Chain A
Amino acid sequence: MLFNSYEFIFAFLPITFFIYFYLNHKRLTEASKGFLVFSSLFFYSWWNITYLPIILSSMLFNYVLGNTLHNRKKKRFNFSKKSLLIFGIVANLTLLGYFKYFDFFIENFNLLFSTNAELLHLILPLAISFFTFQQISYLVDSYREETKEYDFLNYALFVTFFPQLIAGPIVHHKEMMPQFANRKNKIKNYKNIAIGLFIFSIGLFKKVVIADTFAVWATQGFDVATTLTVVEAWRTSLSYTFQLYFDFSGYTDMAIGAALLFNIKLPINFNSPYKATNIQEFWRRWHMTLSRFLKDYIYIPLGGNRKGEFRTYNNLLATFVIGGIWHGAGWTFIFWGFLHGMALIIHRIWNKLGLRLWSWFAWFVTFNFINITWVFFRAKEWDDALRVLGAMFNFTNISININAEQLIYIALFLTLIFFKNSNEIIKINFSKNIRVALTTFLFIVSLLQLTNIMIQADKVSEFLYFNF
């Protein structure tokens, strides 16, 4: 089920909300948790029930293994903790690898050895990249004995809680379980409901009004047009840069808003990433929970910056290449990760040398680097990426007509650079009336545009990060 669908907004969300709090009101705490897990699995299965057994078996496997890892002091088994952890991680990555990367492996094998092995054409189970990473972090936390909860219902809720199930934020066991256990959170909190609806409306507006508008221009340039002028090429790349941010941050806002209705605070995932003045800062502001995972579970275990400068560079590069391939099974994703890894290395050297740039110039370089590398991230084929990039730097035919569309770009640029992001907006101490007015305005415009997209394109648009 999509957050930006009528069935979610007008049926699933309100029904789940009222039944959950009704059960809590009747002091049926376990039943309310069970209901939330059931609702979340229903939410997951709405799209394709075929993959329900995968998430259920993955959950059961990791729960048993996590428990075993935590109870190793009891010495029930002969395996070492480390070998159990490695087994768990390998099993999770095998599942992910089978569904996400097997065809990519076959394609490259065929290319390398001139064979003709058939592709499996597997459909990627929804959210597999997210729940796999989340559960790997749980296993590692269990290994480090940093977990405390071992009730399966709680664990199931941690994995499946519908606001974060499909596309994050990637949450830690330790930041979620205390919230599920807190008795205060079992009671309806009208302040949280008001703020939750406000954030949800901001997210819905970002997704259906802004991101889906830029999606039309990005698709036109990347997938339809055969030749692009320099202005069209920049419009194409910038459209995708805006689309990706507003789509994913919009999704995250909706997730945070929906979770807050249930008194659960999800971690923020975006903090004005396009305001960053260097690449390191960008990754502290973009998809923050993924960056946290990559740092805690890949970069630091590889040695981080503790084993000398050269190993640090290697670790940075490896972490970002893995980050690239996590996003998709394709060389363009790997190359995108490689470019970001290299940029981080260069930034590190730059800092070591004590060099500095004017802040506006640093922003300009950073933003354009990100914009250009998104071209690889978006393009379906190398040729598409090279076609768009080639046109972006072919200055032989420049004609600029200022029209409404260009003014929208300028307005959005200014908004991104100078305006507060949604995390900052919700911290503003609006009066109740202003908050009601803003929520209504954003919600009504979003619903109108949601209807408009359905009647013009005959379907609700998916979120980009559902594919990763």
Chain B
Amino acid sequence: MKNFTIIVISSLLALIFFEFFLKNSPFEYGISAAEYDKEIGMWHKKNFENYIVEACYKTKYSYNELGLPSNIDPYDPNKKDVIILGDSFIEARMVKNENIIHNSSAKEFNYKYNFMNYGLFGSGPTQQLVILQKKIDLNNTKYVIQFIELEGDLLDVDSKNLSSMARPKVFVEFDNLDKYTIIPPRERTLYDTVSDKLSYYQIYPFIKRTIYSLKNALLDKKVEPIEKHDILTKEIDLSKNWLYLKGAIYQIDKLIKSVNSEIKYKVIIRSKSKKNKAIIKKFLNKQNIKFIFLDEVAESMNIKLEGFSCDNHWNDKAHQDVAKIIKNTGFIL
């Protein structure tokens, strides 16, 4: 019993030391930016700042009282809001706060609007629809800009593609464009509570990655059943995914118009597939929703949107360039 106690105490001290070691060594992970949210599944920690660390960057990020990436200019109720929706490319923890798209846009438009970044990693159009419903007050809004990455978002709208290791997420299932059901994230469990507590320590991402690696090694396969490049290279039936994606865009447009018909909704699309572009183009034209294909506009402006070498997310310059593109296209006046 005495030996057992010694071993337990020593192991706990080892864990404390390891946390300190991770925090002060090149093996730093950073601290999880999200916590459980009963409506979306996960949301950014509020009034929180930390570092995101990968091989090619170590960037300090910060979230405000709403859990949004901080603004360089304080919120002014006398100015109209511009809501930006998107995934981790838009949330952009790896980019210096002052250069993230909402702050770059604020600079481009000389601080004329309150640019608010509702980008959330791992979110697709269906989650963004719920974010718009539950988190955003549209009463002072003039523009809603949604970034869609077709190949990734076609996966994100389907709950089957949610990894068992991922945080809980809300989903929306459509029978047709008008009829849908919100599948709320699962109830908060002890696992979520413990995760949220642990997520303030470096050891949390370490444990998650260890379990993820072990699962992959033991199952000898990736956890995700479909990967992004599969959409480009294989013949997969995505009719349901397309319905969900189109349904989300349709409902976002409908919601905005129901609040105020003066609010302008614009969609900015990234895609490597001509076939997918053709499908979405036909749909958006039919719904009379304004859109651009980002890569085509960037090319016409001689802009190359570059990403980080280690994970492809847009770098600081790319965010500044996207802000220029938004201004150049006249999306926002």
Question: Which residues of chain B are within 8 angstroms of A449 by Cβ–Cβ distance?
Answer: 18, 21, 27
**Chain A proximity mask over B24-43: 1 for CB below 8 Å, otherwise 0:** 11110000000000000000
**A441-B27 contact in complex given A436-B3, A449-B18, C-beta closer than 8 Å:** no
* A173-217 with Cβ < 8 A to chain B: 209, 213, 216-217
Is B6 in the interface zone, CB < 8 Å from A? Answer: yes
A456 B14 Cβ-Cβ under 8 A: no
- One of B160-168, B189-197, B206-214 at the interface: B206-214
Size band of the interface chain A makes with B? 20 to 34
Is B7 in the interface zone, CB < 8 Å from A? Answer: yes
Question: Which residues of chain B are within 8 angstroms of A445 by Cβ–Cβ distance?
Answer: 14, 17-18, 21
**Least Cβ distance of A437 to chain B in Å?**
5
Q: Tell me the count of chain B residues lying within 8 A, CB to CB, of chain A.
A: 23
Is A368 in the interface zone, CB < 8 Å from B? Answer: no
Q: Write the chain B residue with the least CB distance to A219.
A: B26
Is B13 in the interface zone, CB < 8 Å from A? Answer: yes
CA distance A442 to B17 in the complex (A): 10
Is A223 in the interface zone, CB < 8 Å from B? Answer: no
Cβ contact of A440, chosen from B11, B24, B26, cutoff 8 A = B11
CA distance A442 to B209 in the complex (A): 22
Is A425 in the interface zone, CB < 8 Å from B? Answer: no
Is A408 in the interface zone, CB < 8 Å from B? Answer: yes
B14 A216 Cβ-Cβ under 8 A: no
**A441-B24 contact in complex given A433-B2, A452-B206, C-beta closer than 8 Å:** no
CA distance A427 to B22 in the complex (A): 31
A455 B210 Cβ-Cβ under 8 A: yes
CA distance A454 to B25 in the complex (A): 16
CA distance A80 to B300 in the complex (A): 86
Cβ contact of B213, chosen from A213, A444, A454, cutoff 8 A = A454
* A432-468 with Cβ < 8 A to chain B: 433, 436-438, 440-442, 444-445, 448-449, 451-456
**Least Cβ distance of A19 to chain B in Å?**
26
Is A404 in the interface zone, CB < 8 Å from B? Answer: yes
Label chain B's interface by main secondary structure. helix
CA distance A454 to B206 in the complex (A): 11
Q: Write the chain A residue with the least CB distance to B18.
A: A448
Is A424 in the interface zone, CB < 8 Å from B? Answer: no
**Least Cβ distance of B112 to chain A in Å?**
38
CA distance A454 to B23 in the complex (A): 18
CA distance A197 to B303 in the complex (A): 60
CA distance A438 to B22 in the complex (A): 20
Cβ contact of B27, chosen from A405, A433, A440, A452, cutoff 8 A = A452
Is B287 in the interface zone, CB < 8 Å from A? Answer: no
Question: Which residues of chain B are within 8 angstroms of A216 by Cβ–Cβ distance?
Answer: 26-27
Question: Which residues of chain B are within 8 angstroms of A455 by Cβ–Cβ distance?
Answer: 206, 209-210, 213
Is B9 in the interface zone, CB < 8 Å from A? Answer: yes
Question: Which residues of chain A are within 8 angstroms of B25 by Cβ–Cβ distance?
Answer: 213, 408
Question: Which residues of chain A are within 8 angstroms of B15 by Cβ–Cβ distance?
Answer: 444, 448
Is B10 in the interface zone, CB < 8 Å from A? Answer: yes
CA distance A405 to B58 in the complex (A): 15
A437 B10 Cβ-Cβ under 8 A: yes
A444 B14 Cβ-Cβ under 8 A: yes
**Least Cβ distance of A429 to chain B in Å?**
18
A433 B24 Cβ-Cβ under 8 A: no
**Least Cβ distance of B240 to chain A in Å?**
34
With most chain A CB atoms within 10 A of its CB, the pick from B13, B22, B27 is B27
A-B contact pairs, 18 of them (CB 8 A): A213-B26, A216-B26, A217-B26, A404-B23, A408-B24, A433-B3, A436-B6, A436-B7, A436-B10, A437-B9, A441-B14, A442-B14, A444-B14, A445-B14, A448-B14, A449-B27, A453-B27, A455-B210
In the complex, given contacts A216-B27, A437-B7, A452-B27, what are 13 additional A-B residue pairs having Cβ atoms less than 8 angstroms apart? A209-B21, A213-B25, A213-B27, A404-B23, A405-B24, A433-B2, A436-B3, A436-B10, A437-B9, A445-B18, A445-B21, A455-B206, A456-B27
